[in-house]
């Protein structure tokens, strides 16, 4: 994963082959994870999350989208660990269900995957759609967050 920080905040978190990965030149100087306190904290917290030991991130973040994107990304920050919502539900919260496709575009361009939990947004029928890091990763992230009672209720 690529973690980007600027001005004391995490500004990007991208998977390999991310759909909207910024150009290498725009990312700034590459540093070793142990050379930068914020990057090191992000790596530690991401590891804890992926190991099922963390449910909330405690990192400063900053996004730089247009007004609509920022409204959508703010709603992503409110989705609790282990919960999901749909693009349509977010559009309704914005006041117009017809905005679902625009919401999907904003969600897909979220620059801080996992920490700003875009993986918690699913299609209206619960189907996994549109994750810039890949649908297999989205499925895995949702499995990490799946409540234990749901896991135990499955036979396989």
Q: Give catalytic residue positions.
A: 118
CA distance 64 to 43: 22
Dihedral sign computed on CA atoms, order 59, 64, 70, 73 = negative
Q: What is the DSSP string of 17-50?
A: T-TTPPPGGGG-----GGG-HHHHHHHHHHHHHH
- Dist. CA 33–CA 60, nearest whole Å: 17
């Amino acid at each position: 994963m690529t973690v980007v920080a600027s001005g004391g905040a995490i500004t990007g978190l991208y998977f390999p082959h991310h759909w909207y990965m910024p150009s290498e030149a725009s990312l700034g100087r590459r540093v070793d994870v142990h050379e930068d306190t914020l990057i090191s904290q992000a790596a530690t917290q991401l590891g804890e999350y992926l190991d099922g030991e963390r449910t909330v991130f405690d990192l400063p973040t900053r996004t730089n989208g247009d007004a609509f994107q920022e409204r959508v990304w703010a709603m992503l920050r409110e989705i609790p660990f282990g919960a999901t919502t749909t693009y349509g539900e977010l559009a309704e919260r914005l006041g117009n269900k017809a905005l679902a496709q625009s919401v999907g575009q904003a969600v897909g361009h979220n620059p801080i995957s996992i920490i700003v939990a875009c993986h918690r947004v699913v299609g209206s029928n619960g189907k996994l759609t549109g994750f810039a890091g890949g649908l297999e990763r989205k499925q895995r992230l949702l499995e990490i967050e799946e409540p234990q009672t749901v896991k135990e209720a499955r036979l396989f």
